[in-house]
Amino acid sequence: MTRKPLIAANWKMYKTPQQAAEYFRAFLPLLGDHSRDDVAIFPPAPALFVALEASFGKFGVGAQNMHWLDEGAYTGEISAPMLRGAGCTHVLIGHSERRRHFGESDEQVHLKLAQALKHSLVPVVCVGESDAEREHGHTEDVLVRQISAAIGKLSAHQCAPLVIAYEPIWAIGTGKVATPHIAAEAHHTIREEVSRILGRAFAENLRILYGGSVKPDNIDALMNEPEIDGALVGGASLDPNGFSRIVRYSAS
């Protein structure tokens, strides 16, 4: 089964609009006419318009978060219709930093996923276990719970654009990285649970990304694992040269 890889950059709370413009002036020539992989960039909200102006259809642009309602008295929130109206193509849902620092629940992840699908945004749903959960042998249980909560009430037809990112919490911003074998095992668990809920055909076509201290010096090994369909890159995506090297990984 051939799944076109997706290489995504999550800038988190970095880069002003001016810094984003400087980034794209450097990055676009490095990206060139690259078409082997899909590329998406998730800048902070104030820099979305800069990314959208720079994209020219060469890469997707997404928000790092959104609310699960179309509109309402929710100060500081952004809705899916707003993102679509601005021109966004993607949205991150359930990133571990949202879950950990802002108390985002499995139920909220489900609501946001349903809303993204309703408004034709490509949802990148993040799942992953903590260091303690891995140490106690609970990785599979955590992944199954998070996947089931996110997609359990949805159909395969609804979930067609879905992307899942496995990002072990113990590897986010720590410098630790799952070995390709560990990542592939987790991806297999995710694919099996998706298969149970949405069917084997859907699961075989589903793109599952790895996220967690992805860097230019480990991307090649990760992308040589058949279960890994791309990467969600954090800190290493902030440098246009480093991120372009990640996008242009070498794989057998």
Sign of CA dihedral 59, 63, 68, 72: negative
Selecting among 167, 187, 193, 225, the annotated active-site residue is: 167
State whether residue 65 is helix, strand or coil.
coil
Longest dimension (CA), the chain: 51
Question: What crossing angle do the helices spanning 106-118 and 139-151 adopt, rounded to 10°?
Answer: 40
Selecting among 95, 110, 119, 187, the annotated active-site residue is: 95
Catalytic residue flag (residue 77): no
Nearest Cα neighbor of 78 from 52, 17, 86, 108 is 86
- Alpha-carbon gap, residue 11 to 197, rounded angstroms: 32
Backbone angles phi, psi at 92, to 5 degrees: -80, 140
> What letter would DSSP give residue 75?
T
Catalytic residue flag (residue 110): no
- Give the residue numbers annotated as catalytic, written as ranges: 95, 167
